[in-house]
Amino acid sequence: MTSKIDRKMRRAELVARLAEIWSRALRVSPVEPDNNFFDLGGDSLTAVGLFLEIERETGISLPITTIYDAPTISALADVIANGSAAPEFSPLVLLKPGNDGAPLFIVHGIGGTVMELAALGRAIRIVAPVYALQARGLDGRQPPLESIDDMAALYLDRVRELQPEGPYRLSGYSFGGLVALEMARRLMREKQALVPPILIDAYAHPGTWPPVSRLKMNVRRTLHLSRQYAHAPLRVSIPLVLAQLGNVVRHRDPRTRLRDWLLDQKPDLPAPLLRVREAGSIALARYAPRYYSGKIVFLKASRPDPEFPDDPERIWHHLVQEMELQIVPGRHRTMVTDHVASLAESLTACVLASSGSASLPGLSSSAASTNKQYLEPQAV
């Protein structure tokens, strides 16, 4: 009896300590033991800080992917108190359960995690399940993949374990759109039924873009960087702007060029996440899109960031047989945060429109075309 009481007391103390850590990391007070991390606004960066502080407080190091299987204080306390090993890593993460129809699979962005897709998955209003696909290597146990083709092969294997037959519904955010397209290409080659893959503001490296698109992007970057250094003396700001622009086109290491292009560096991430991000950068730098003999749906941010093109039709029209373009409120990164309701509405509409209309390769008779549908912005 005494040992049972001691265990309960130790667990109660652990729950209390975790509640304090969660409250600081999420800036929410109080946090109840059964509150869900994602419902409280948790994202990948918050999870990084959370697990680093848990390691400092308890001496226990857990992979960031543990948050998917233990998304509450109570569940996480069980993992720590019982000395449970973190669950075996799987690329598949269930975002929203369902009980009917072919699931929707959404592939991760360049950082590899799918926490930024959690709110999106829950907001998609379909009866079928919604899954995300996360990158290998996030748990630090396996090396990350450095090829989009290798990612497509691995993810398709896992998708088929869950869904042996089509029709397949694939989507991907940013970098993940390229992986989803390669998955669709493989399925088409195997004559599997699939609906048009949905690319969410997805672009290959600028080196693969038409010259006009690269020029327009560089002009916007120049203006953006000029505004950043607007308060600096000209003798300081002009060399800085020119150096950063030159880094993108100079013949240097492709991973460095990619980091300069994205204007987005994450030096404070834990080692496994840094390795996954670096592997994603290598994969993107190596990737050259190939022609896809089917239709895609492209969801474009209404306000293009300076490092992204504003003309996806020019980039994609010669690479696909047919393209449907939809405009979703927000910028590249805020599509999945501030404007997640609008993005979810668009994805919902795409899935519902494709229900019962999955195609087999060679059945489409339409020529390459682009259709636009503009969605009214919604407050989130």
pLDDT confidence bin for 150, thresholds 50/70/90: very high
**Taking residues 104-119, what's their average pLDDT?**
94
Number of other residues whose CB lies within 10 A of the CB of residue 345? 18
CA angle 44, 52, 83 (to 5 degrees): 105
- Give the CA distances from residue 185 to residues 167, 168, 241, 295, in Å, rounded to whole numbers and listed in that order: 14, 12, 40, 11
CB 30 within 8 A of CB 23: yes
* Domains of the chain and any CATH numbers: 2-81 (1.10.1200.10), 92-207+286-374 (3.40.50.1820)
Percent of the chain with pLDDT over 70: 77
pLDDT at 159 over 50: yes
For residues 41 and 346, which has the higher predicted lDDT (pLDDT)? Answer: 346
**DSSP helix/strand/coil, 30:** coil
What proportion of the chain, given as a percentage, has pLDDT over 90?
53
Residue 367: per-residue pLDDT: 32
Higher-confidence residue of 247 and 131: namely 131
pLDDT mean across residues, the chain: 82
Confidence of residue 364 (pLDDT cuts 50, 70, 90): very low
Residue-level pLDDT at 374: 31
Residue 371 pLDDT grade (very low, low, confident, very high; cuts 50, 70, 90): very low
* Residue 139: pLDDT band with limits 50, 70, 90: confident
Residue 240, pLDDT > 70, answer no
CB 137 within 8 A of CB 275: yes
Q: Residue 98, Cβ neighbours under 10 Å: how many?
A: 16
Distance spanning both ends of the chain, measured CA to CA? 52
Burial class (CB in 10 A: 0-12, 13-18, 19+), 20: middle
> Worst-scoring range by mean pLDDT, 97-101, 175-179, 281-285, 319-323?
97-101
Torsion from C-alpha of 380, 107, 221, 232, nearest 10 degrees: 70
Q: Whole-prediction pTM value?
A: 0.80
pLDDT at 221: 72
**DSSP label at residue 72:** S
What per-residue confidence (pLDDT) applies to 100? 78
Residues 305-333: tens digit of each pLDDT: 888 888 899 999 899 999 999 999 999 99
Task: Grade residue 10 by pLDDT with cuts at 50, 70 and 90.
Answer: confident
